[in-house]
Structure 1
Amino acid sequence: MSNSKIPLYKTIENDLIERINTGYYKKDDLIPTELELAKKYNVSRVTVRKAMDNLVAKGMLSRTAGLGTFVKHSIASQKTTSQRSFTEDMKSLGMTCKTIVNTFSLKEADAQIASILGIEEKDMVYYIERSRYGNDDILMFEITHMAIKKFPDLSIQYLEKSKFDYIEKIKGLKIDFSFHNTIPMLPNERIQAMFNIDRDTPIIKVNNTTFLENGDVMDFTEQYMNSPKYQLNYIRKR
């Protein structure tokens, strides 16, 4: 568990919320028992119970006597009027876009990533880290997982340009929408050094799951935004 000043029960609560919002735990899924969670997080059952009580009170979980605790919350997603890539955002701002692929490797999908991507656990996935620049400023750092069997010809050359262009122009697929789970946080040491900010400068992390029109998940990306220089703004139209 983290040594931060956040109470342990709140850390567990936030982690469970993130797992629900990213689709690891889906509606009507059975949540692990208090004993299993206590072992997982290395805390007491009392601490786990407090976290789960809060989620029950918020309507995200429900308890059924003799059966266990289930996911009650159904993700409410709203499709915006447009779906733009980072590259398209930079062009709209009159800025020069540059992408550096820091890591491009293959790995086995763990249970969480497999559930989000709609594949089997231990299926092979791409693990991708990219630094995204507007002019000479680093504005975003991304960690992406994509299923290899869905995109066997993905390469660094495509990722240095636009992932959206690869999907739509090369693969001929249509991107439908993305689900964003936005989390304010303080940066770890790696992000501090990358963004050249101090440890007390808040940033935004966005867990982004992108869906294709055929219903497949395109990718799951964790986006760390250099919030002092790049902010996530929404325009909602009725």
Structure 2
Amino acid sequence: MKTEALYLEVYRQILNDIKTGVFARNQPLPAERVLCDKYHVSRYTLRTALDLLNQAEVIYTMPGAGTFIQPAFLTQPLTQFYSFSSTLKKDNITISNHIVSYVMRPVDERLCRKTGHATGSAVHELVRLRSGQGEPLMIETSYLPVKRFPSLDIERLENGSLYDFLTAAYGFEIHNARETLRPVMPLPQEKELLQITGTLPCILLERFTYENSACAEYTKSIVRGDKYIFSVELKK
């Protein structure tokens, strides 16, 4: 390596090691001494490369705790109706679904307040783990009225979009939707499914989808806080 470009080469090597998983995102980088030995450079050269990575927002430093690798965020605009599957596919991200559970159950008082469905009426409760590039991103729990959707093709939903299935099977047409977001701490079983270690806040995203004036779908999603940025664009 040329001396004048040494720090740039180290910058590129660390960046590649992050992209290829040698260094895990949202985890601390090894100590400077270890990195100097790994890349065979002086501490001055290493720190210059780390400064570049910090400026590029690839890493960040927490005083007293060390230097950490920034998580890779997925940006989801909230300015129009969307599906996570469509958004991820546009970014060439491989999507997979895992059915965690499925039951047909009566509406309780809490769900009645949320959706307006009559207490005791039947709904499908579908829980799916959504992953991108093999990484768990969110747990989605969807409630669908049996009166509107008599049955669900669980095998098809394991491999495809819920909205695509409802549209094809039942002529489902979305007229409007409402969403709320708030930070939450995941429950132990949610941490296990999302492969969260330590303390990591998540985002509770609740979506109410309406067909005419009736709530045809209520979905609550526990989204990893280190994986998603939700954006809104305001225009005057």
TM range (shorter): 0.5 to 0.7
Equivalent in the alignment of 2:165: 166
Partners of 1:81 and 1:237 within 8 A in 2: no
Partners of 2:180 and 2:206 within 8 A in 1: yes
Equivalent-residue separation in structure 1 for 2:114 and 2:185 (angstroms): 25
Using a 3 Å threshold, how does the CA distance of structure 1 residues 114 and 227 change in structure 2: closer, same or farther? same
Cα displacement (A) at 1:197? 2.0
- How many residue pairs get aligned? The number is 158
TM-score by length of 2: 0.62
Cα displacement (A) at 1:148? 0.7
SS at match of 1:174: coil
Cα displacement (A) at 1:82? 2.5
Cα displacement (A) at 1:186? 1.6
TM-score by length of 1: 0.61
Equivalent-residue separation in structure 2 for 1:100 and 1:184 (angstroms): 24
Cα displacement (A) at 1:228? 0.9
Equivalent in the alignment of 1:121: 119
Partners of 1:188 and 1:199 within 8 A in 2: no
Equivalent-residue separation in structure 2 for 1:201 and 1:116 (angstroms): 27
Which of structures 1 and 2 has the bigger CA Rg?
2
Cα displacement (A) at 1:227? 1.8
Percent sequence identity is 23
Partners of 2:129 and 2:193 within 8 A in 1: no
CA RMSD in angstroms, aligned pairs only: 1.8
Cα displacement (A) at 1:92? 1.5
Q: Which runs of 4+ in 1 moved over 6 A?
A: none
Equivalent in the alignment of 1:90: 88
Cα displacement (A) at 1:163? 1.1
> Which ranges in structure 2 are unaligned for 5 or more consecutive residues?
1-77
The AA in structure 1 aligned to 2:201 is P
> Which ranges in structure 1 are unaligned for 5 or more consecutive residues?
1-79
Equivalent-residue separation in structure 2 for 1:143 and 1:99 (angstroms): 12
Cα displacement (A) at 1:118? 3.0
Partners of 2:139 and 2:223 within 8 A in 1: yes
SS at match of 1:223: strand
Equivalent in the alignment of 2:30: none
